[in-house]
Copies of this chain bind each other. A is one copy, B any other.
Amino acid sequence: MAKCDKCSNQSKFFLPYGPHKYCNKHFNSFFEKRFKKTIRKYKMLSKNEVIVVGVSGGKDSMVLLHLLEKFYSKEQTIKALSIDEGIPNYRNKAIKVALKEIKKRNIEFKLVSFKKKLGKTMVDVMKKTGRNKTIGSTCSYCGPFRRKLLNETAVEMNATKIATGHNLDDEVQSIAMNFFDNDLKRMARLGAITKGSKGFIPRIKPLYLAPEKEIIAYASLNKINHFSEECCPFSWQAKRNAFRTMLNEMETKFPGTFYSILSFFENLKPSIQKKEKTTFCKKCNTLSSGTLCSACLKLEKIN
């Protein structure tokens, strides 16, 4: 059996894109170093920030919370926020796991629900979208609603940053989908960090350079509790799943593909980033590219 690149122990992890071979201990330090490097590289944090972590209860957000607590809780204030979309037998279970973990860590926590804030659960949305194909898929409602509540509540929690658990695979899937779909505008909105503006808290993705497989391994090695049911029961996500499968196959054939696509995007970003005209939503006064923000537009559609 091959040895670890860093010590004489047997390697337990083979990362073909390096290639790297690591024992448990050195995989852990490799993973954590990259996490800290990502935060430095993209200038995600200044001093004395109030970081609100979007916590779904899944592996990504639980690992994110763990790492921010482990390395940044002395200098920064870390808080957690969960959004209950009202997806029975799924989000309630995930939030239970998240809550248990958050209580252990003794950090400020807030739970907000679609039901209370918007008057609709995702079940209500699905009842409308299921019958009426012209108003868009169920999933197209969940994202804007979640982002709206995340921002609004983070403002109430005095956040200076919102941190989300998006990983390398998520980002590369989004970049590739925009490439295949010819959507430069959407592609320009991706990236490790989104600048804030009036009423809009900047967002950071500290796991932006972490492959999904390694997050799973890290969670398991460090016994980080998380809700591990794969998919939301409302979402087939046929398109994203096809891209996930295709990209994983290409990464297996050509290791390093994910990082290469990410670099392509980062090289490209400065030339495609146009200043989008922004104004404020007439209904909720949030930053918007039109008269109504996408969440309020979606709310009108199902009301």
Contacts and interface: CB of A to CB of B under 8 A. Distances in A.
Contact of A182 (B239, B242, B246, B264): B264
Given A268-B272, A272-B268, A272-B271, A180 B257 contact: yes
B261 A182 contact: yes
Given A249-B246, A268-B272, A179 B179 contact: yes
A7 interface: no
A173 to B, nearest CB: 13
Interface residue range, chain A:
20 to 34
A220 interface: no
A254 interface: yes
Interface string A152-194: 0000000000000000000000000001111110000000000
Nearest to A270: B271
A267 interface: yes
Interface in A254-303: 254, 257, 260-261, 263-264, 267-268, 271-272
Nearest to A175: B179
A260 B184 contact: no
A239 B180 CA distance: 19
Contacts of A253: 242
B179 A267 contact: no
Contacts of A184: 264, 267-268
A254 B253 CA distance: 22
Contacts of A2: none
A264 B184 CA distance: 7
Contacts of A257: 180
A179, A246, A271: most-surrounded residue (chain B CB, <10 A): A179
A272 B261 CA distance: 16
A216 interface: no
7 contacts: A179-B264, A181-B260, A182-B261, A239-B254, A242-B254, A246-B249, A246-B250
Interface of A: 179-184, 239, 242, 246, 249-250, 253-254, 257, 260-261, 263-264, 267-268, 271-272
User: Sorted from nearest, which 8 A-B pairs have the closest CB atoms?
Assistant: A271-B271, A182-B264, A182-B263, A182-B260, A242-B253, A184-B267, A180-B257, A179-B264
